[in-house]
Structure 1
């Protein structure tokens, strides 16, 4: 069992710091597991790019908008992922000079592994949070946290979500 509220100095800490620290710790653990699973060359920005490209793909300009980065930065991400074999450029269905950036089978395989790892990490966290190590209690706590975070996000952003910029 962790310290009670009055004994832990984190309880008096600003919300932005707590959210940032929780994000950093969770992301760090996830990254370590992704590397151990055979993907040491991928970083969070790559996963965000995979998500932003989605199953239909996107142009570099669309990727830039979805990630909230410059077109030049998106182009560099695409170039890097293409060299690593995770994306390829194809002719755009609308024609012209535009290229569609699509995920390769290697990226799809990574996404499947990363999804399993993330769900496993959440399950372990639920067990740690649960009273007496009970995953069910911890899962309920994580569910409430998820609901509360969605409420905070909606209170700040409404229905139009900003891109999750890869600044870490």
Structure 2
């Protein structure tokens, strides 16, 4: 429930910042591509979706100016999908929104710095317990 509430507020603030056309899967796509980009097949693997689903996401975001397809440096028929400046700007805004939400939440709860540090520590321990080999990549699982 806390995740859903935070995600709803995050989406609302991103919409108010001019990104009403994007959803969490889009931000995960930008993160999965990184600055260097990836092929659609690599993106599908990183997101844990089918190649067809990744292709649809890329087609949609390319039409809207968030991604571009370029010739792959290794040549051949493959294309390299890279985020545009617009996608990078979205990630920067999303990061600021997330940090601001965390600060607002701390203020509303009256949480002190050490309480937030402890909470982060507990969550990190939970991740280590559930995934001892290291956290898996972020994937859209909702």
TM-score by length of structure 1 reads: 0.79
RMSD (CA atoms): 1.3
Count of residues in correspondence between the two structures: 142
Task: Name the structure 2 match of 1:66.
Answer: 46
Moved over 4 A (4+): none
Q: TM-score, normalization: structure 2?
A: 0.93
Aligned to 1:15: none
Q: Give SS of 1:69's match.
A: coil
Deviation, 1:104, is 0.4
Runs of 5+ consecutive residues of structure 2 not aligned to the other structure: none
Corresponding residue for residue 116 of structure 2: 142
Question: What CA distance in whole angstroms lies between the structure 2 residues aligned with 1:160 and 1:69?
Answer: 21
Name structure 1 gaps, 5 residues minimum.
1-20, 132-136
Of structures 1 and 2, the one scoring higher in RCO (CA 8 A, sep 6+) is: 2
Mark the CA change 1:80 to 1:55 in structure 2 (over 3 Å): closer, same or farther.
same
2:57 maps to which residue? 77
Q: Which residue of 1 aligns with 2:127?
A: 153
CA distance in 2, matches of 1:99, 1:63: 12
